[in-house]
Amino acid sequence: MGRHRHDGARVISVAPVGQNYLKSRLRFAGLLGALAFSVAAIADTRDYRDPNYDYFVAGDPSLPRAGHTQFMLALMGGGGLVDAAYAALARQAGAGHIVVLRAVSDDSFDPDDGRYDTLFVTRWGPVASAETIVFHHREASFDPRVLAVLRGADGIFLAGGDQANYIRYWKGTPVQQLLNAHLRAGRPLGGSSAGLAILGRYSYTALDGGSMQSKIALANPYDAGVTLEDDFLHCRWLENVITDSHFSQRSRLGRLIVFIARIDRDHVGADAYGIGIDENSALLIGADGTGRVAEGSAGGAWVVRPRRRPAVLTAGLPLSIGEVGIVRLGPRSRIDFRTRRVTAPAAVTTVSLERGIPRRDPVVSPLLMGAPSASDPTMAQMQWHRRVLIVSTPGDEDPQFIAQQLALSQWTGGDERDLSVVRIEGDTVTGSSETASELRDRYRLDTATFSVALVGKDGHVALRSPVPVTGAQLQAEIDAMPMRKAGQR
C-alpha cells in the first residue's frame, strides 16, 4: 500500500506543540478539546505522512471502543512472528482498537515493511482497527493527533527497531504518560525486540548507538556502551525486571548478567532479575501474574537471577560473580511473577564467572559462548527477517576462519543491518538448527576449504568469497541490497 500525504482538505493540520502548552490547552478545553482531537484524527482513515511521523491504518478507527479489555503483557524476542502472541493481544484488547508504535531515526520507513496493522485485521483479529504510528522526531510525541490515537487504544504493540529512539522520542513526553496510563488502566500491551527491551522497570537503552555484546560487557561492566534506564515504563509484574531479546541467537546471557549486577549496585534494594526471550518466541503474562511461553514459539524464555553479589564489579576489570541462577521456560513451564517460582522448567542450572570467563555448562554455553543451541532458527525461519552470513570451515583452527572471526568482532554494523552469522566448523553448526551437510549442499559450500556466503532476506546469495570478508565489504554489499535501499533494515 502506498503512502499518501495529508492535506488541509482531508486531515486537519496542527503544528507540533510543546508539552507545557499542550497541558495548559487540555486543562482549558477539558473533555471537549480531547474529543475534538479524536475527531480530527479519524476524519480521514487513509495512510498519511506528517513531517514528524507516518500514519497507517487498517479497519475502521471510528467504531466504538471495546466493551471489555483485560491486562496482558506479550514479551516477544524478535526475529519472527509468533501468531499466538499477536492473537492473544487482539483477544485481550476485546477485539477493539490496536495501536502499533514504531520509531526510526530518519525518514526511511517503508510502509510495506511489517504492516502489523494489516496483519492484526486480516490474520490475528478480529479487531475493529489497527493504527500504526512511525515516529521520526520527538516532536511527534506532542502532536494532538498522535495523542488522540493513543488515548483510544484498547491494546498497544511496540514494534522492533532501535530502543534508543523510543527513549529519545518518548521519555518525558505525553506519549510516555499515556503508555503508563494504558498500563494502569489494565489494558494489554506487547513488545518485540526493541519494543521488548523497554518493557521492564529497568532497560538497556543502546543510547551510545551500538548494541552491547556479552564479551565486551563481561570484560568491562562499566563500558560506556552499558547504558541503562530505570524510569520509563512501569508494567505490572515487571517492576524488578530487565528484559532482553534475541537471547540465545545472539548469546546475550553475559550482557544480561552484567546489566543485573549494575542495577543491583546502582539501585539499593532493586533485587533485579532478568527475562530473556529467544527469537521467534514469546512469553505471555496474564493479569494474575502467571507467565507461559506462547504456542508456536521456536525457542523459550530464560529467567536470570544472581544469588550472590559480584566478587569483582569495577570499572575496567572483568566481572567475577558466583551462583547466577538460570532457568529455561519451555512449552509446559509456568512462572509466577508474584513469587518468581517456575514450575515444570525446561532446564535449571547455575553459572559462575571468574574474570569474565564462565565455566562450561551444556545449558548456558549457547548463551555465553556462542555454541549451538536447540532453539536456533532454520534458514527458512530467518527468511524475510534476517540477512545471514554463512561462514564455513573444515575446522576451527583454520587461519582464514580465525581471520574472519576477528573481522566480525571488529565490525559493529551487523545488528543495525539485521545480520545473523551461521558458523559451520567441520560438522558443527552455530546459529542454525540445520545440519552442516544440509547447509553446505543448499548453498554450495565446499567441505574441504574455507568459504563465506551472504544470504539476503529474500533468500538469494548476494555474495560468495573463498577468503575472509571485511566489515566494510559486508556493509557495502548489504547497503546496496534493494530492501535496504528501500528503507528497510
CATH 3.40.50.880 range(s) for the chain read 19-368
Phi, psi for residue 380 in degrees, rounded to 5: -65, -40
User: Average of pLDDT values for 93-118?
Assistant: 81
Tell me the residue length of the chain. 489
Tell me the chain's radius of gyration from C-alpha atoms.
23
pLDDT value at residue 251: 86
Q: Which CATH class is domain 19-368?
A: alpha beta
pLDDT value at residue 361: 59
Instruction: With cut-offs at 50, 70 and 90, classify the pLDDT of residue 96.
Output: very high
For residue 83 the three cell numbers come to: 501468531
Architecture of domain 379-485: 3-Layer(aba) Sandwich (3.40)
Helix residue ranges per DSSP H, 130-288? 144-151, 163-170, 174-184, 194-197, 214-219, 253-266
- Cα(352)–Cα(466) distance, rounded to whole angstroms? 39
* Contact status, residue 170 vs residue 195, Cβ threshold 8 Å: no
Provide DSSP, 23-81.
Answer: HHHHHHHHHHHHHHHHHHHHS--S-EEETTEEEEEEE-TTSPPPS----EEEEE-SSS-
* Contact status, residue 278 vs residue 77, Cβ threshold 8 Å: yes
Residue 4 has pLDDT above 70, yes or no: no
CATH 3.40.30.10 range(s) for the chain read 379-485
Residue 403 has pLDDT above 90, yes or no: no
pTM over 0.85: no
What are the pLDDT digits (tens) for 115-128?
789 999 999 999 99
| pLDDT > 90: percent of the chain | 61
Residue 144's nearest CA partner among 48, 27, 38 is 38
C-alpha angle 261/256/87, rounded to 5°?
135
| pLDDT > 70: percent of the chain | 84
Q: Collapse the DSSP code of 324 into the 3-class scheme (helix H, G, I; strand E, B; otherwise coil) and give the result.
A: strand
Instruction: With cut-offs at 50, 70 and 90, classify the pLDDT of residue 138.
Output: very high
